[in-house]
Amino acid sequence: MATSLITYATVAFPLHGGDVRAPSAVFEQIFEVFLLLGTAVGVVVVAYTMYHALKYRDDGSGTDPYADKVERPEMGELPTGGTGGRKVFYSFSISAIIVVSLIAWTYSQLLYIEQGPDPAQEEALEIDVEGYRFGWDFIYPNGHTANTLRVPQDRVVRLQVTSTDVFHNFGIPELRVKTDAVPGQYTSAWFTANETGTYAAKCYELCGSGHSLMTTDVVVMPQDEYKAWYNGTEGSAGSGDQPAANGTATESASLGTPTAGDVATTTGGAPA
């Protein structure tokens, strides 16, 4: 199964993101395997534990059925180990093999998530995300800034996430996207959405009194609709589309120019 996945990730891609293996698919697969194996291991080990506890329970008869086989510890003796250490090592080895091989298997998936789908990267839509107390700004390549994230269906979206005040965490649970929004630096995340619809983005790091209200909509649109919408935003670079009530308008404008230490994308302002 693992090899088929790797080939899946490395075959030459057509130029749109519909065939890209989405992070949500990677997550679901690993989660299912872990859930099944974890449940199986849990049932076996807990049953094994209970078996020992019940089989060797003191039946209250006053006689010790293992009196001739084992030596009971005496009051006041120096603590020493009991017999049966070999079984401990066998059991330990089996569990270690399961754990290590599971994690090794997920490592190839991690590499995929970390690097993103290479061929599609050329085509990726780059959006800057800025968290502030208590909302999100999404800055498109043409400079358009909005509080709702609109993305086209079946296209790789790369997010560069930062914060303009405290530590936030940007996550879209249904699409399995999550990354910290750390003031002073950028983190990145990517996703593709295969189905149109409205998803929720939330803050996952306690950031103050409005933390639980720091949610926004992620609207996945058909590609042509998205194109029409995006073209309509052309020329509204800067804070033109910014809601007036949003107190961070000036802040966002000043943040449009990345500073030396930042790893911000330099695509801001350039036409897509």
Closest CA to 151 of 209, 223, 75, 96: 223
Q: Which is nearer to other proteins, 41 or 124 (CB)?
A: 41
User: Binding to other proteins by residue 52, rule CB under 8 A?
Assistant: yes
Among 19, 123, 205, 241, binds other proteins (CB under 8 A): 205
User: Binding to other proteins by residue 118, rule CB under 8 A?
Assistant: no
Q: Which is nearer to other proteins, 133 or 144 (CB)?
A: 133
For the CB of residue 220, give the shortest distance to other proteins in the complex, in Å: 19
User: Binding to other proteins by residue 121, rule CB under 8 A?
Assistant: no
- Phi, psi dihedral angles at 25 (to 5 degrees): -70, -40
User: Binding to other proteins by residue 66, rule CB under 8 A?
Assistant: yes
Among 110, 200, 228, 253, binds other proteins (CB under 8 A): 110
Among 2, 46, 270, 272, binds other proteins (CB under 8 A): 46
Count other Cβ atoms within 10 Å, centred on residue 272. Answer: 12
Q: Which two tokens stand for residue 88?
A: 């401990």
For the CB of residue 224, give the shortest distance to other proteins in the complex, in Å: 31
Among 145, 171, 216, 242, binds other proteins (CB under 8 A): 171
**Can you tell me the distance from the alpha carbon of 135 to that of 148, in angstroms, rounded to the nearest whole number?**
10
User: Binding to other proteins by residue 158, rule CB under 8 A?
Assistant: no
If 0-12 CB within 10 Å is exposed, 13-18 middle and 19+ buried, where does residue 92 land?
A: exposed
* CA angle in degrees (0–180, nearest 5) for 175-139-170: 35
For the CB of residue 39, give the shortest distance to other proteins in the complex, in Å: 9
Among 31, 36, 227, 269, binds other proteins (CB under 8 A): 31
For other proteins, which stretch binds (CB under 8 A), given 4-12, 51-59, 120-128, 223-231?
A: 51-59
Count Cα atoms within 13 angstroms, Cβ side, for 94. 8
* CA angle in degrees (0–180, nearest 5) for 151-149-158: 60
For the CB of residue 206, give the shortest distance to other proteins in the complex, in Å: 4
The overall longest dimension of the chain from CA atoms, in Å, is: 91
User: Binding to other proteins by residue 2, rule CB under 8 A?
Assistant: no
Q: Which two tokens stand for residue 83?
A: 């017999």
x/- letters, 222..241, toward other proteins (CB under 8 A): --------------------
**Rg (Cα) of the chain, in Å, rounded?**
27
If 0-12 CB within 10 Å is exposed, 13-18 middle and 19+ buried, where does residue 100 land?
A: exposed
The position carrying tokens 């519909």 is: 18
Among 6, 11, 100, 200, binds other proteins (CB under 8 A): 100
User: Binding to other proteins by residue 38, rule CB under 8 A?
Assistant: yes
Contact 117, 9 (CB under 8 A): yes
For the CB of residue 271, give the shortest distance to other proteins in the complex, in Å: 26
For other proteins, which stretch binds (CB under 8 A), given 7-15, 150-158, 175-183, 226-234?
A: 175-183
